[in-house]
Structure 1
Amino acid sequence: MSSLRKIMTVSIAALLSVSSLAACGTASASGTTSSSTSSNAEASTATSLSDFGSMSALEKAAEAEGSLNVIALPHDWSNYGEVIAAFKKKYPKIKVNEANPNASSKEEIDAIKTNAGTDAAPDTVDVGLAVAATSTKYFAPYKVKAWSSIDSSLKEKSGLYTAGYTGIMSVGWNKTKYGSITKLSDLLKSKFAGTVALNGKPAEAGAAFNGFLMANALSGGTLTNLKPGLAFFKKLETAGNLTQVDVTDATIDSGQTGVVFDWTYNQESYQKSLKAKGIDWEYKTFPKAQVVSYYNQAINKQAPHPAAARLWEEFLYSAQAQNLWLKGGSTPVLLTQMKKDGTVNKTILADQPQLTGKAISYTNDDSTRITTWLQNNWDKTIGN
């Protein structure tokens, strides 16, 4: 399970209807030698499938590159394990190099900057809105084939980043050990000493950012009044219950993080893995604080494998990958269109968590403002 993840955006209407190196001759991540070619240069400036002429041409260009570098894609996060496996099966000539599965959005952008000009740079990133919107200088515009079916509020108009999937923020816990949790204030009880995890710092990690917003709403706050949420976490820290340990499989299994603020699709993953060990992992959303948000896909403008990067994006917005995201407990951005054209897996759809109250949404400006506020207030309040 992922520890630090991203800060995102949402369209309520949509939800309810719902190292770089082609330019240098260095060794690639797959152990082959890459060199600058005209086809590679063309791929790096392609803004849509039409620039390649056809899907077949894009596939051939990507296979010629032979590699794809991805980052921050835990296999049990929104079912990315199956998504990656499906891509490998469909394109066996392309080696998928996976870096730092537990990276935060900020760390993804850091990887682009640190590895610029080398073949180790990420070709694509999966990031939250706050990071996506403030990092566009690192992205290449690209509109996938399904572009017209994506709500305009869920994509940057030139294709610099596009929403992919969302979940609902929730609280999950080891019910076998702790019994029931009915309200947020229950987490202040002494039995939860040192075990409540927000899953990162809210100004850096998406799950933590949205977990904070959920707690803030349940504490009487709003998107313009964040003090109640900060006050709650200060109480949680004072009680000795808050831990800032990054949540992983190991921390969940060991009981180090017995209560976790996280997305419903991750809670489902925890639940399934722990059931086999005799642990009842429960989770709940709160009707008065239904925080929902999308993760965004973007292509590194200096991607070492520009054609493979674009092929990966086309794959993610195919019915096959969107259904795999759905299987992982998330809501894919093309769900409404898939329902219309009959490509959604109805069996999987029937088993997914549903929105049970009014969703809390925020704009890019909200996200940036809230992030800045948290940067200025979280560290000096929590841990001091």
Structure 2
Amino acid sequence: MFASRTRVAAFTTTAAVACLVLAACGSAPQSSSGSAGGTDAKAATSVADFGGLDKLVEAAKKEGTLHTIALPPDWANYAEIIKTFEDKYGIKIENENPDGSSSDEINAVKTRKGQDRAPDVLDLGQSFAASGAQEGLYAPYKVATWDSIPAEQKDPDGKWVNDYGGYVSIGCDAAKVTVCPQTFADLLKPEYKGQVALNGNPTKSGSAYAGVYAAAIANGGSFDDIQPGIDFFGKLKAAGNFNPVESTPATVEKGETPISIDWDYLNVGYADEFKGKGVDWKVAVPADGIFAQYYSQAINKDAPHPAAARLWQEFLFSTDGQNLWLKGYARPAALTAMTAAGTVDAAAAAKLPKVEGTPKFPSEAQAAKAKEALANGWAAAMAG
């Protein structure tokens, strides 16, 4: 139920081929849903601009469709979230390339500008959210629950807002691994030869990027210096412990990736999903590399369904939406405020892996620097 978001970046090549075949990628029909009921939906920065939630719902229903991209149904409870939204509002969600990457999403926004098939909304790793905002790709929008989201978890203008997240963790199949690793230092032990995998390529995948950042922290690095993490994986490969197979639910179930560095909410989900199927999946949040990250929501400034895009944001950041993330073992951005207000799903919150301390996050500048370092150094580390 809680599959790994492989998000392999295949979109650019596919789109290029499609353009050659169709010879009309730049001239696809544009949406005519830029306004509804006298309100310019594309210019709306809050629900008040529509005259309230009921008016926003009315405008979104007239559009009738929401285009999403790279939302795996089995990632952090997205299947239930998508179905609940569709059932609640009668709006069809067309979810393209569910296993795509954050970079695929950004590419789709850029290459499909002005086209009806462009994505309306985006779910991005933080570094991609920040870089996209700097490029001017998103529409500013502040949801009704804006004040419940910590200041460090959102762009001050609402160009992106963190929604759900978790901690980097080490998942391990105790049915195949005699002693499961608990720390990054453990992963270099010879008994883990050929077993340690990432969920994707860190230059394209937000979860793999976080895994390298966590390894950096475990090896003397910092938010300002991800290089020790890149070096760590180089050592892991040189030792023969790194497994180049990108972990997915299928590879976990088949035993192809017996140790997987991934988000805690995915690894905990695997423990439930594969119980009774010959997989004894254990999860550890490595004490030597504590790294938390949230995924960010953003609205394409050229969204073909701008009202539906804004309603989607309102739904995700509502109490119901935030509690749906909890059901997928992810930590919603408004968790602290909801706990204080007594609106949190206490049973779901109790199942979250326990982690000591308050999470800290790299700044936009630090994330951009880390992203550049990975782009310049990852291939060399893997080739060494």
Q: Give the alignment's TM-score, normalised by structure 2.
A: 0.88
- Residue in 2 that maps onto 1:107: 104
Checking the alignment, whether the CA contact within 8 Å between 1:234 and 1:381 is kept in structure 2 is yes
- Residue in 2 that maps onto 1:79: 77
Equivalents in 2 of 1:97, 1:39: separation in Å?
21
Q: Alpha-carbon deviation of 1:38?
A: 4.1
Checking the alignment, whether the CA contact within 8 Å between 1:61 and 1:307 is kept in structure 2 is yes
For the residue of structure 1 that corresponds to 2:347, the secondary structure is: helix
Distance 1:35 1:230, change over 3 A: closer
Distance 1:217 1:47, change over 3 A: same
Checking the alignment, whether the CA contact within 8 Å between 1:25 and 1:35 is kept in structure 2 is no
After superposition, the C-alpha distances for 1:254-287 in whole angstroms (9 at most, x for unaligned) are 2222211111100012111111312101110122
Are 2:173 and 1:170 equivalent residues in the alignment? Answer: no
Q: Which moved more, 1:188-197 or 1:129-138?
A: 188-197
Equivalents in 2 of 1:182, 1:194: separation in Å?
17
Q: Which moved more, 1:312-321 or 1:35-44?
A: 35-44
- Residue in 2 that maps onto 1:49: 47
Percent identity over paired residues:
41
Equivalents in 2 of 1:199, 1:242: separation in Å?
12
Distance 1:193 1:286, change over 3 A: closer
Equivalents in 2 of 1:358, 1:49: separation in Å?
32
After superposition, the C-alpha distances for 1:1-46 in whole angstroms (9 at most, x for unaligned) are 211399xxxxxxxxxxxxxxxxx9949xxxxxx6356428711111
Are 2:94 and 1:97 equivalent residues in the alignment? Answer: yes
Distance 1:366 1:113, change over 3 A: same
Q: Alpha-carbon deviation of 1:228?
A: 3.0
Equivalents in 1 of 2:148, 2:139: separation in Å?
20
* Letter in structure 2 aligned against 1:374: L
Distance 1:360 1:153, change over 3 A: closer
Give the alignment of 1:1-384 within 5 angstroms.
1=3, 2-4=5-7, 26=29, 35=32, 38-39=35-36, 42-92=40-90, 94-136=91-133, 137-180=136-179, 181-357=181-357, 359-384=359-384
* Letter in structure 1 aligned against 2:168: M
Distance 1:113 1:25, change over 3 A: closer
Checking the alignment, whether the CA contact within 8 Å between 2:183 and 2:288 is kept in structure 1 is no
Give RMSD over aligned pairs: 2.2
Checking the alignment, whether the CA contact within 8 Å between 1:290 and 1:357 is kept in structure 2 is no
Equivalents in 1 of 2:47, 2:343: separation in Å?
21
* Letter in structure 1 aligned against 2:87: K
* Letter in structure 2 aligned against 1:54: G
For the residue of structure 1 that corresponds to 2:370, the secondary structure is: helix
Q: Give the alignment's TM-score, normalised by structure 1.
A: 0.88
Structure 2: stretches of 5+ with no match in the other structure: 10-26
Checking the alignment, whether the CA contact within 8 Å between 1:5 and 1:206 is kept in structure 2 is no
Q: Alpha-carbon deviation of 1:307?
A: 0.5
Equivalents in 2 of 1:227, 1:42: separation in Å?
46
For the residue of structure 2 that corresponds to 1:98, the secondary structure is: strand
Distance 1:38 1:360, change over 3 A: closer
Q: How many residues align?
A: 360
